[in-house]
Amino acid sequence: MNDGDAILIGLDKKIDLDNDKILLRHLVIAADATTLIFEVHPDENGWTFPEGALTLKDKQGNTYKNKASYASGYTWGQYIVSDYPPLEDGVEAITLDFEWFDRSFQKEIPLNQGEIK
């Protein structure tokens, strides 16, 4: 991958977290950053989503922690753009891992379905 190139992977995966719905939208893989774009559709108004509880993991055993998140609020919920460090070379799939008290979920995302933009 060259500098400036990015791979955009469309996700469209729905995850139930308690009474809320999380919609994974896109994963952007670039040489200098990995970005996860998702929506949180809450059942009721309350605390904002704990983005830091979402980490990325690859099969080589690397964990990528959330560096920063940008959330925009809408009447339906939050649109969140979360930044992670760049992935190591040769990573073919990552697992999205949510760990928060006794709540957790995992979602595997294969990376071979993307297109270069």
Partner 1 sequence: MNRKKLKGIIEWSLAFLLLFIVIKESPYYSYYELSPKAAFEKSERTYYYGPSEVVEKVDLDNVQIFLSKYKNWFSAPIIKKHAGFFWGPGSLGVMEIKNKQDITYSWGGMTFNEELMLMRYYGIVTNPEINKVELDVAKGYDGGEHVPKEDIVTLDYKLKDHRMFLFHWNEVENDYLSMALRGLNSDGEVIYEEDLN
Alpha-carbon Rg for the chain in angstroms: 14
Instruction: Kindly tell me which of 5 and 99 has the beta carbon lying closer to partner 1.
Output: 99
When asked if residue 52 is in the footprint of partner 1 (CB under 8 A), the reply is no
C-alpha 43/C-alpha 20 separation (Å) is 5
Residue type, 10: G
Rounded least distance, CB 111 to partner 1, Å: 28
Residue type, 1: M
Calculated CA dihedral for residues 87, 89, 91, 96, nearest 10 degrees: -10
Rounded least distance, CB 58 to partner 1, Å: 25
When asked if residue 50 is in the footprint of partner 1 (CB under 8 A), the reply is yes
Rounded least distance, CB 59 to partner 1, Å: 27
- Residues 12 to 41: which contact partner 1 by CB under 8 A? 17-19
